Amino acid sequence: MTGAPPIVTEVSRPWWEALARGEVCVQQCTACDHWIFYPRPFCPRCGARDPAWRTVDGAATLYTWSVARVPVAAAFAHLDEPILAVAELAIGIRVPTSLCDIAPQDVRIGMALAPVFDGGTYPGITLLRYRPA
């Protein structure tokens, strides 16, 4: 087994189902409007229960990044110096991700990123990756 697929929970299932459709859906608190990521059954700002799922623009800016010049674990040794990153969506949430279609010397914090719905890494799962916009 290469990599390590996400262990999906009941609460987070709408996130993964949306990615499979080519959409980004994020929870929003119905009491205080706070955007919530990762998914939870409550709002970590005000404690209100049962946040709503909303479809949002998946475009993002690069918050931070690095390159794994040595494999992060044996299960990921097949990746050749992956660019690992955190992307920030316009609604303010930050998502762990990895970049494609770019070389390390061209990466800049703050650069505009477009979502890549990657269904090829793990069977039955679509990852949210990013490339330069």
Partner 1 sequence: MTDAPVTRDLARCAAIVGAAEYPARRFSEVPAANSLEQAADLALLALDDAGLTLADVDGLSVRGIYVTDQFLPATLAEYLGVRIGYGGAPDLGGAAAAGMVWRAAAAIERGVASAIVCVYPGNYPPAPPPGDRQQRSFGASSYLPGSPQAEFEIPYGHLGQNIPYAFIAQRYAHAHGYDPEALARLVVHQRRSANANPHAIFHGEPLTEADVLASRMIADPLRMLEIVRPIRGGTAVVVASPEVARRTRHRPVAISGYGEGIAHKSPQFARDILDPPLREAAATAFAMAGLTPGDMAGAQIYDCYTIAVLMALEAAGFCAPGAGFGFLRGHDMSFAGDFPLNTNGGQLGYGQAGGAGGMTHVIEGYRQAAGRAGARQIAGCDTMFVSGNGGIMSEQVALVLQGATA
Decide if residue 2 touches partner 1 (CB under 8 A): no
Decide if residue 132 touches partner 1 (CB under 8 A): no
Site for partner 1 in 43-102 (CB under 8 A): 63-70, 72-73, 75-76, 79, 82, 84, 86, 94-98
Decide if residue 109 touches partner 1 (CB under 8 A): yes
What are the angstrom distances between the C-alpha of 48 and each of 6, 33, 55, 98? 27, 10, 20, 32
Cis preceding-peptide flag for 38 (omega within 30 of 0) = yes
Nearer to partner 1, 6 or 22 (CB): 6
Decide if residue 30 touches partner 1 (CB under 8 A): no
Give the whole-angstrom CA distance, residue 76 versus residue 92. 29
Q: What values do phi and psi take at 131, rounded to 5? A: -135, 165
**What are the residues whose beta carbons fall under 8 Å from the beta carbon of 76, sequence distance 6 or more?**
2, 3, 4, 68, 82
For partner 1, the binding residues (CB under 8 A) are 3-9, 12, 38, 63-70, 72-73, 75-76, 79, 82, 84, 86, 94-98, 104, 109-110, 121-122, 125, 127, 129
